Amino acid sequence: DLPDRIEGMTALKSLSVANNKLMRLPTVVCGLPYLQALVLDDNMIKELPEVLNRLVHLMNLSAAHNTINRLPAVLTGLRQLRKLCLDGNPLGEIPASLLQVSGLEVLSMRDCGLAVVPDGLTVLRSLRELQVADNALEGLPEMEAMEELKIVRLSNNKLQQLPPTVVRLLGLEELSIAGNAVQKLPADFSRLTKLQLLQVDGENFDSVPQEVVVQGGGCVLEFVKRVGVAHSTQRLDLSNMGLRSVPHAVIHLTALQHLNLSDNPLTTVPSSMVRLANLKSLILERTKVRSLPVELPGLYELKELRVDASEMLFPPASVCAEGLQATFQYLRKISGANVVGTLDLSGTGMREVPVDISHAGGIAKLDLSNNQITRLPPELSLLSSLQSLELEGNPLRPHLQDIA
């Protein structure tokens, strides 16, 4: 128990009795008329006494990691209470009495066995911080009216998706959803323009690439913001974001006109890029892209294509160096070879035979003479209609088995 002399400390404003193996809160504490902060953490308290309401000036109450399984109804009498921490208590629910503490600004109920957050929580209009991590929540009630809410921590619950109500908290500054089964962020997530900290994890995000997710919430937030802005500006700058592939979210932006993917470790450009029918500018500089899809000339509005020409293999560097028109003409030649049955790629300076040639299965004659080819890819065997193959003028090493 606590020493009796505490009763005489009537001017006391802050008291911590944490980690004292207390079984109950001594009533003497509730006789301290000016007490503003009371810390009861890490004891063995089973319930809070009814006389707690005598602490009319109490602003901060922390009773984390006890064995409290219910809260007294008189809690409503603590009209000055601004911060309440009940982490690690087997409460199982947010009691109705708590919803009547109208001035509450911070509520922390981590690891309290919560399965739901009651609809009545919205009456706490002054709430600025809600911490309900480490529970079993599957959703949240409508909280749009809680305009003061700045911090929401939902980590380690059973959320399958980000509750729609969260996106309507336009003043939100911090959000944690790590340790859930959330696989994507909604398109309107970018409305959270004041968000400064986002904690996420998971390997199955389909709206945000995994290589962005592993860089942390800040990078995820930046990605979502950039994509969100692109919906209205038709310009998307995803440069220097660690992307290894073109995100699915990009392909869905069918009105996009300008796309910058420079300074990423990209290796391929998907044929689905042709869905961006309004694209006028595509920047792929300082990436690992060495091959372009034969479907790319289907971007009829494209006026600017910037690649690392000297590093390109398909079309060859010499072709890419001549600019967009030469590049598209080369790609059209490949894709049109099925129709004419002949593909002449002689003297183009290519160092490798592009695997993409295998798409032109109707080729009967293929001329690869006078290039810098040193070996033939096994994919050439897919050209089942091939009758004539010209290879002279190449520094071919002995790959007779490949040719056969």
- In angstroms, rounded to a whole number, what is the distance separating the alpha carbons of residues 276 and 269? 13
Run of H or E residues at 312: none
Residue-level pLDDT at 232: 87
- CATH architecture assignment, domain 234-307: Alpha-Beta Horseshoe (3.80)
> What are the tens digits of pLDDT across the range 59-98?
999 999 999 999 988 888 899 999 999 999 999 999 988 9
Point out which residues pair with 14 in neighbouring strands: 37
Answer whether 18's CB lies under 8 Å from 40's CB.
yes
Place of tokens 């939902």: 154
240: left (phi over 0), alpha (psi -120 to 50) or beta: left
Q: Which two tokens stand for residue 128?
A: 């600025």
Q: How far from each other are the two terminal CA atoms of the chain, in whole angstroms?
A: 92
- Phi first, then psi, for residue 198 (nearest 5°) are -130, 125
- Phi first, then psi, for residue 365 (nearest 5°) are -130, 125
**Does the pTM of the predicted model rise above 0.75?**
no
Run of H or E residues at 166: helix 164-167
Residue-level pLDDT at 7: 66
Residue-level pLDDT at 217: 75
Q: Which two tokens stand for residue 378?
A: 């096994």
Exposed/middle/buried for 40, CB within 10 Å: 0-12, 13-18, 19+?
buried
Q: Which two tokens stand for residue 402?
A: 């490949």
Residue-level pLDDT at 205: 65
Nearest to 85 by CA among 104, 57, 113: 104
403: left (phi over 0), alpha (psi -120 to 50) or beta: alpha
- CATH architecture assignment, domain 333-404: Alpha-Beta Horseshoe (3.80)
Q: Which two tokens stand for residue 400?
A: 């007779």
Run of H or E residues at 365: strand 365-367
Nearest to 205 by CA among 197, 190, 193, 217: 217
Residue-level pLDDT at 357: 74
Low-confidence ranges of the chain (pLDDT < 70): 1-8, 187, 202-206, 338, 356, 359-361, 398-404
Nearest to 305 by CA among 325, 329, 287, 334: 325
Point out which residues pair with 131 in neighbouring strands: 108, 153
Determine the distance from the C-alpha atom of residue 102 to the mean position of all C-alpha atoms in its chain, rounded to a whole number.
34
Residue-level pLDDT at 8: 66
Positions of CATH 3.80.10.10 in the chain: 234-307, 333-404
Answer whether 217's CB lies under 8 Å from 196's CB.
no
Residue-level pLDDT at 398: 65
Residue-level pLDDT at 294: 87
Question: Helix, strand, or coil here: 120?
Answer: helix
Instruction: Report DSSP letters for 191-238, one per residue.
Output: G-TT--EEE---S--SSS-HHHHTT-HHHHHHHHHHHHHHHHHSEEE-
Residue-level pLDDT at 22: 93
Measuring CA to CA, how many Å separate 216 from each of 110, 117, 198, 213, 224? 23, 28, 8, 6, 13
